[in-house]
Amino acid sequence: MDRGEGVYFWDTEGKRYLDWSSQLVNVNVGHSHPHVVKAIQDHIGRISFAYPSIATEARGRLGELLSEVTPGNLSKAFFTNGGTDAIENAIKIARLYTGRPKILTRYRSYHGATFGAMTAGGDPRRHGHGPGIPDIIRLPDPYAYRSPVYKGRTQEEGDAILADMVEEIVLMEGPQSCAAIMIEGYSGTSGIIQPSAVYWNRIAEICKKYKMLLIVDEVMSGFGRTGEWFGVDHYPNVTPDIITIAKGITSGYVPMGAAIVSEEIGKYFDDHMLSIGLTYSSHPLACAAGVANIEVYRSENLIDNAREMGKVLRQGLVDLAEKHPVIGEIRGAGLHQAIELVKNRETREPLTPFIGPNSEPLQIFNRTLKDEGISTFSRWSIVFNCPPLVINEAQIKEGLEVIDHALSKVDSYYEG
Ligand SMILES: Cc1ncc(COP(=O)(O)O)c(C=O)c1O
């Protein structure tokens, strides 16, 4: 990459790419946004670094803004270097607060790359690294397209059964040893596999009933990605006790994350030892970038734009599915949409195997996107459509045209 501006970036040979994934679903305000760039430039001339026990104006302001935009009574943020260590610290906080060890997480989930976060995430990136940390309990997934639980049932019917299974698992594990259920606010790189409100409401009830915390990982789904400030905002009856954020908090301009806790949890640590800490916690440049990002989300109505442009994107993908039978399913909300490619709509056999190298059609598909100036990523047969929230309708059409062409090159691999 040589430079970036808005939804585009250019390589060193001058070729332009439409950023169809916001890099790693984090450059939410687009590339080189002048307001954010200026905030960082202004700040570094004044404060280049302050160690975590020292307050700065940007840090205080960011904490205040976060408590305004986050759901429920989340009010205190512990700032980290990114999403992974936000998760690590959320786990530590939950264990210290409840005095219980077990954290329940989904199989198809990703929570980061260090040992704790990696073990918490169930997806195959944890393979090959040994057993990981103890006391992570995995839950089955609300994968209506593939899970046998959903065969012949609606999403909601299957979700109700799955939530009952979660309660059963809590009982078998012993509620007195279960600290928290941790799930992504809106499922991300595991394939945008999102349950309905039926599941979410029951999970929140189970947490209350057994005095467990609900940790919602908003690292990817936060800051407007799905057309709401946070993924969990799609479920008004659900109030998280802790959320983790990163990515869109600074749009990646400076690395940053946070574990944000409810007022009760914050108060508890007023007189209980909170044995966590990082040299770069609340780095002044990251705080300045965070404040500037939230100002941009608000002043440019980017959450509304994500919702509205999400409808255009979704309709465009639905139209493509009519033309290309390799699209087995479309999932997501706002500017957070996945298409799952299949060899056959009846058998739902994936176009490339789950885990392992990409099959020939996936390689052709990905190469066509790159050749024709679209930058995005796919995992297994799932292709991500997650452009910056500043995208407009013409730019969405531009991206969809290339995807249309790339799909036409793999239509012949369909075995229907
Ligand atoms: C939901 C979720 N949680 C945590 C992480 C880890 O964040 P980071 O890569 O900033 O450490 C990611 C990264 O993609 C993520 O999508």
Ligand 1 proximity of 188 Cβ (cutoff 6 Å): yes
324-331 average pLDDT score: 98
Q: Residue range 287-301: average pLDDT?
A: 98
3-state secondary structure string, 376-388?
Answer: CCEECCEEEECCC
Does the beta carbon of 248 lie inside 6 Å of ligand 1?
no
Distance (Å) from CA 413 to ligand 1 centroid: 33
pLDDT digits 0-9 by tens, 89-102: 999 999 999 999 99
Provide mean pLDDT across the span 178-195: 97
Element (H, E) at 303: helix 302-323
Ligand 1 within 6 A of 414 CB?
A: no
| Helix, strand or coil, per DSSP, at residue 273 | coil
Distance CA 8, CA 336 (A): 18
What's the Rg (C-alpha) of the chain?
Answer: 21
pTM score of the predicted model: 0.98
Give the residue-averaged pLDDT of 4-22: 98
Bridge partners, residue 184, by sequence: 217
Which pLDDT score, from 0 to 100, does residue 356 have? 82
Ligand 1 atom, smallest distance to 220 CA: 16
Pocket test for ligand 1, best of 23, 79, 103, 111 (most atoms within 8 A of CB): 111
DSSP string, 46-78: H-S---TTS--HHHHHHHHHHHHHSSTTEEEEE
DSSP state of 358: P
Ligand 1: centre distance to CA 218 (Å) = 9
- Tell me how far CA of residue 154 lies from CA of 159, 195, 253, in angstroms: 8, 11, 41
Q: Is 219 in the pocket of ligand 1 (CB under 6 A)?
A: yes
Question: Closest Cα to atom 7, ligand 1: which residue?
Answer: 83
Q: How confident is the model at residue 355 (pLDDT cuts 50, 70, 90)?
A: confident
Residue 256 has pLDDT above 90, yes or no: yes
Give the pLDDT mean for 24-32: 98
And the tokens for 223?
A: 């800051």
Give the model's pLDDT for residue 358.
Answer: 87
Distance, CA 49 to ligand 1 centroid (Å)?
Answer: 25
Which residues partner with 23 through β-bridges?
Answer: none
pLDDT for res 154: 97
Is the minimum distance from the CB of 242 to ligand 1 under 6 angstroms?
no
Answer yes or no: is the C-beta of 191 below 6 A from any ligand 1 atom.
no
Distance of alpha carbon 19 from the chain centroid: 17
Q: Is the pLDDT of residue 357 over 90?
A: no
**Of ligand 1's atoms, which has the minimum distance to the CA of residue 257?**
10
Give pLDDT, residue 8. 98
Which structural domains are found in the chain, ordered by start?
Answer: 3-29+301-413 (3.90.1150.10), 34-299 (3.40.640.10)
| 242-271 mean pLDDT | 98
- Rounded distance from Cα 112 to ligand 1 centre (Å): 5
Ligand 1 within 6 A of 189 CB? yes
Q: What pLDDT shows up at residue 336? A: 98
Length of the chain: 416
Residues forming a β-bridge with 383: 339, 378
On the question of pLDDT at 136 being above 90, the answer is yes
pLDDT at 354 over 90: no
Strands of 136-139's sheet, edge to edge? 74-80, 257-262, 242-245, 213-217, 178-184, 102-106, 136-139
Distance 335 CA to ligand 1 centre (A): 17
Determine if ligand 1 sits within 6 Å of the CB of residue 220.
yes
Cβ(377)–Cβ(189) below 8 Å: no
Cite the beta strand spans of 185-326 per DSSP E: 213-217, 242-245, 257-262
pLDDT digits (tens, 9 = 90+) for 69-91: 999 999 999 999 999 999 999 99
Asked whether residue 270 carries a pLDDT value surpassing 90, the answer given is yes
Cα(90)–Cα(259) distance, rounded to whole angstroms? 6
The ligand 1 atom nearest the CA atom of 26: 14
Average pLDDT (119-130) is: 91
- pLDDT interval class at 40 (50, 70, 90): very high
Task: Please give the distance of CA 127 from its chain centroid, rounded to a whole number.
Answer: 21
**Among protein residues, the one whose CA lies closest to atom 3 of ligand 1:** 111
Which positions ≥6 away from 258 have C-beta within 8 Å? 66, 77, 78, 79, 80, 86, 244, 245, 246, 249
Q: Cα of 153 to ligand 1 centre, how many Å? A: 32
Residue 246 CB–ligand 1 contact under 6 Å: yes
Mean pLDDT throughout 92-115? 98
Residue type, 125: R
Percent of the chain predicted with pLDDT > 90: 96
| 386 CB within 6 A, ligand 1 | no
Average pLDDT in the 22-32 region? 98
Tell me the mean pLDDT in the region 117-141: 94
Mean pLDDT of the chain: 97
- Per-residue pLDDT tens digits for 397-412: 999 999 999 999 999 9
CA triple 33-34-38, angle to 5 deg: 120
- Å from CA of 185 to ligand 1 middle: 12
* 247 close to 28: Cβ distance less than 8 angstroms: yes
Residue pair 335/306 in contact (Cβ under 8 Å)? The answer is yes
The rounded Å distance from CA 115 to ligand 1 centre is: 13
Q: Hey, which bits of 171-239 come out as E strands? A: 178-184, 213-217
CA distances from 291 to 61, 212, 411, 416 (A): 7, 32, 46, 51
Decide: 84 in ligand 1 pocket, CB within 6 A: yes
pLDDT for the residue 328: 97
Query: Whose Cα sits closest to atom 8 in ligand 1?
Result: 83
Q: Which two tokens stand for residue 353?
A: 């195997």
